[in-house]
């Protein structure tokens, strides 16, 4: 029996008071895909990401995560589903009062089933995965560079061995060189761990190096969704403008 999509949206409508954000969004994210969600400012990219997680309920339509209708899942089931995913927020969202070690250990301690020795081993493993050392665990977030903040936040997102990784503007705030190295790290981890990845991004370099599929939000709907070469061939003013600067090798 085939597995359900990791994420499936059916007929999603989103409205805040009189403002319509989404109108009839259908989207499937299959296992192993790296889907980039792109669109102009105010197109509802982050809102759609929150609906995928069950953090926001759409005005109409159905959102399924790992085959489960989030509207029908009780609190315990929703929490169990969220343990199967990791989230990297745009600015890292590290707890400023906790050390690097304790930030990564936080979701592990929330499980309440691991002793501190195992937590220490797992935290050091996650630090190594993002190319940091055990010594970095003693630092506070205020002592980190922007690139290190991203790596620590990624280590925390991977703490519970997720199947799905969600990224909100993963290279925001990084210079081109650090951004390229961080995208390379994400790509290597995706391949090594078999992750499904959904990311919101406007960075064309990230799309070039990482995305296997692209979903384009415009005019309150998905105007294109599929492998990036197919999406970039769609004749639409937003797509022509947005992708005009991407390398021709993607066409």
pLDDT digits (tens, 9 = 90+) for 31-80: 999 999 999 888 889 899 889 888 889 999 999 999 999 988 888 898 88
Q: Kindly calculate the radius of gyration of the chain based on its CA atoms and give it in whole angstroms.
A: 18
Q: CATH number for the 31-46+79-246 domain, one of 3.40.30.10, 3.50.30.40, 3.40.47.10, 3.40.50.300?
A: 3.40.50.300
pLDDT at 161 over 80: yes
CA distances from 127 to 95, 120, 156 (A): 17, 11, 9
> Hey, what are 194's tokens?
């078999």
Out of 8-12, 112-116, 181-185, 197-201, pick the least confident.
112-116
Q: Give which of 51, 3, 55 is closest to 25, Cα–Cα.
A: 51
CB 36 within 8 A of CB 207: yes
CB 24 within 8 A of CB 11: yes
The number of beta carbons lying within 10 Å of the beta carbon of residue 188 is 12
pLDDT cut 90: percent of the chain above it: 64
Q: Is the pTM value of this prediction over 0.85?
A: yes
Question: Which has more pLDDT, 13 or 249?
Answer: 13
DSSP character at residue 141: G
User: CA 74: distance to chain centroid?
Assistant: 23
CB 53 within 8 A of CB 166: yes
> Hey, what are 57's tokens?
């309920």
Label residue 1 by pLDDT band (50, 70, 90). Answer: low
Query: Cα–Cα distance between 134 and 26 in angstroms, integer?
Result: 43
Q: pLDDT tens digit string along 184-238?
A: 999 999 999 999 999 998 888 888 889 999 999 999 999 999 998 899 889 899 9
> Hey, what are 177's tokens?
């060189």
- Across the range 142-147, mean pLDDT stands at 91
Question: Which has more pLDDT, 251 or 92?
Answer: 92
Label residue 173 by pLDDT band (50, 70, 90). Answer: confident
CA angle centred on 235, ends 233 and 241, rounded to 5° = 90
CB 14 within 8 A of CB 20: yes
Query: What are the sequence ranges of the domains in the chain?
Result: 31-46+79-246
> Hey, what are 247's tokens?
């390398």
Label residue 113 by pLDDT band (50, 70, 90). Answer: confident
Query: Cα–Cα distance between 44 and 200 in angstroms, integer?
Result: 10
């Amino acid at each position: 029996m085939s597995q359900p999509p990791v994420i499936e949206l059916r007929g999603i409508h989103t409205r805040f008071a009189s403002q319509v954000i989404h109108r009839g969004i259908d989207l499937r994210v299959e296992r192993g895909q790296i889907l980039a969600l792109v669109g102009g400012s105010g197109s509802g990219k982050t809102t759609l990401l929150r609906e995928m997680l069950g953090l926001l309920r759409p005005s109409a339509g159905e959102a399924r995560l790992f085959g489960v209708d989030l509207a029908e899942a009780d609190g315990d089931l929703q929490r169990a589903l969220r343990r199967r995913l990791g989230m990297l927020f745009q600015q890292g969202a590290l707890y400023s009062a906790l050390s690097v070690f304790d930030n990564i250990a936080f979701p592990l301690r929330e499980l309440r089933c691991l002793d501190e020795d195992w937590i220490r081993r797992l935290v050091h493993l996650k630090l190594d995965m993002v190319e940091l050392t055990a010594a970095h665990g003693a630092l506070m977030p205020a002592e980190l560079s922007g690139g290190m903040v991203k790596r620590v936040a990624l280590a925390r997102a991977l703490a519970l061995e997720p199947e799905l990784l969600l990224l909100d503007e993963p290279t925001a705030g990084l210079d081109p060189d650090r951004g390229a190295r961080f995208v390379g790290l994400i790509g290597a981890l995706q391949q090594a761990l078999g992750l499904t990845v959904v990311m919101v991004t406007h960075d064309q370099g990230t799309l070039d190096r990482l995305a296997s599929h692209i979903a384009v939000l415009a005019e309150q709907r998905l105007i294109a969704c599929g492998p990036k070469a197919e999406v970039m061939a769609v004749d639409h003013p937003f797509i022509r403008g947005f992708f005009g600067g991407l390398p021709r090798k993607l066409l």
